[in-house]
Structure 1
Amino acid sequence: MELCTEALEETVTSEEAQSLFDKAAQKFQEVAALAFFNWGNVHMCAARKRIPLDESSAGEDVVATQLQTAYDWVKEKYCSARQKYEEALVIKPDFYEGLLALGQQQFEMAKLHWSFALAKKMDLSGWDSMETLELFDSAEQKMKAATEMWEKMEEQRAKELKDPTSSKKEEWLRKKKKHGSNTAEGEAVVVNGGGGHGELTPEEAAEQAAVMRSQIHLFWGNMLFERSQVECKLGTGDWRKNLDAAVERFRLAGASEADIAMVLKNHYSNEGPKEGEEKKAENPNGFITAAKVEVANEDVKE
């Protein structure tokens, strides 16, 4: 037993062992960050609970109380999600998924504020929109930072797949030799680094990257579209510029022109009160829910 302990001591204190310890620490870091990330996702999903308002039989005061309670409940869930995403980023600062999720959380908070103002039938000319617009700004900043982080990781991953001397490919070849695999060289490599690819061929990895890029463009387009909605309704900001930018993102995501046209048709700029009627601004569903712009993404353009 003593000899075994001495042998192990010599192994774990060797220079070669240090790289293995570094890899183990990185894995635990990723797992810990992912735990907080998923914890935040649970809160975001819970916030989607539909809370109906009894507008038919209850008085205005009761409905107003129900509305405030619903708003506070959803806001609390969003804030809890933000806390978990931020903890994930403290553990792993280059965790781009956490940064994307944090941008999504800020976006949903902005939509919540806007939906609440509409549901309460506030006078929008006197409504303070500063916090809502700041949330849109924050969401876009985080989206941009996360995208840049992801692009750098993808570039590095692509180089490792193409470079026959890369450490990851060498690691894969060692595993292949150890386990006696008959897989052809270069057919698959182990890809890590927080992207969650697992064992993929270069073609599969490229396909997943294309899908991810499309999803980023789609989310970014939705965010710009919703902001242009708010600015158009309030008569502030350059809503047309944001709308044009949203359309460009939708096209980059691979959305069809028919889908884009359908979304644009529902923009506030295309609405107007009918003759003799005032344009209504209440939430037609009767409960707080973030308005969503859904753009079909059946065919991703290369």
Structure 2
Amino acid sequence: MSGWNTIESDAGVFTRLITDLGVEGLQFEDIPYLEYLEEGQISSLLKGVVFLFPYKASIYRGSEPIQGKYETDSTKLFFSQQTIQNACATQAVINMLFNLAQDAQESVSLGPEMTTLYEFVKEFHQPDLIGETIGNSELIRNVHNSFSPPNLFVSDEDDPYRNKGKKEEVFHFVGFIPHNSRIYELDGLRPYPIDHGPFTDFSKDLKDILQTRMNLLVEQCVQKFNLIGVIKDKLEFLQDQLQKEGITDSEEFIFAEQLQEELNKREQWNEEITCRKHNFTGLALELMKQITSSMSQQEFQEALTLASNK
């Protein structure tokens, strides 16, 4: 069985990931700053947030989470632990999807294959067993790995000397969702989901929770963060708005403009994903040959020295 590759933290990648899995009704949106959660359409469309940060072992050493409290009742929501290396991004997404699809059945569809998987694992009530089953899903693994370019060289595991002596930063993904009027954190490295209490305004209250989390992580010298929102599919939302009765000309113009912007963004995502799926090593080598063919030996050595110093 092939392993799991790392994938990029990117709204376009995550949107294509769930689309390729057969999910309908949701997409992902980059959150450039915390206050953005409360702005414009995002606040009304927001279904959850994926939070990315550098992994640090000290964060997971205590018997309790650094924020919130464990929800040990496995019947309250779906939760699976991460048991496969490099799968934390997709693990976080799956945890969120399986809960959101049950909470918003009229607007979110898992599709036939993911629904079958959900129905199979939902009664396990053992997060590690659920995680192991999801990790062994050929469908999910193949879709996940499709966003990494083919590797023409040996992997880190096959080459014990590659990057020897270099400490690489490892990033981790967790999900935050509203469920039964409470905010839950789904972290596959934890034994249970984390309950952050009731909310009155999901976007505002989640923003406060994330700000507190960032402050706590900064105290432990963790300073890199990334946020990606899970939102209602904007194409569906905007098309619905355009079809409403009584819509004014100005509203129609605004929604049509926003729809075109979203279509343009999807096209750009597709182009970027196509590039991610290809290995350009051969092209780079061919270009290098063309560039260096007219160089003298001295010029070539100078170019190598300059490149190595960058």
TM over 0.5: no
Q: Which has the higher strand share?
A: 2
**Bigger relative CO (Cα 8 Å, ≥ 6 apart):** 2
Q: Which has the higher helix share?
A: 1
| TM-score normalised by L of structure 2 | 0.28
Larger CA Rg, structure 1 vs 2: 1
